[in-house]
Amino acid sequence: MDKLAEALVYAVSHINSRDNQDLQDEDVTALESIAYVIQQASRTELDALSAAAKRACAEESASPYRRENMVRDYGTWMEDLFGGEGWVGNDRA
């Protein structure tokens, strides 16, 4: 489950960070669809996503090729996905 969570965290962050105006509507639709499915996840699955987001943030922060936009996105991944309901950053509120 950890590798699936890591892949999903990366995919959502990658889509979220793209700066392509031509694809913006498609990106928003994709993110909304992903968020809808994730909102139905079990507590265990949400914990795996939270842990994956924390790992991604730590790895990106330590990288010599650090991307500030990805550090920000990884750092608040769960909170952003759930609109702040029940999450502060990647920790349960």
- What pLDDT, in 10s, does the model give residues 51-79? 999 999 999 999 999 999 999 999 999 99
Question: How high is the pLDDT of residue 48?
Answer: 96
The domains of the chain are located at: 2-92
pLDDT level of residue 83 (50, 70, 90 thresholds): confident
**Cα separation, 50 vs 87, whole angstroms:** 10
CA distances from 90 to 15, 23, 47, 65 (A): 19, 27, 9, 23
pLDDT grade, residue 86 (50/70/90)?
very high
The pair of three-digit structure tokens given for residue 54, joined into one six-digit string: 């924390």
pLDDT digits (tens, 9 = 90+) for 8-54: 999 999 998 888 788 888 988 998 899 899 989 999 999 999 999 99
Whole-angstrom distance, CA of residue 75 vs CA of residue 8:
15
CA distance readout (Å), 9 to 21, 22, 34, 64: 22, 23, 11, 21
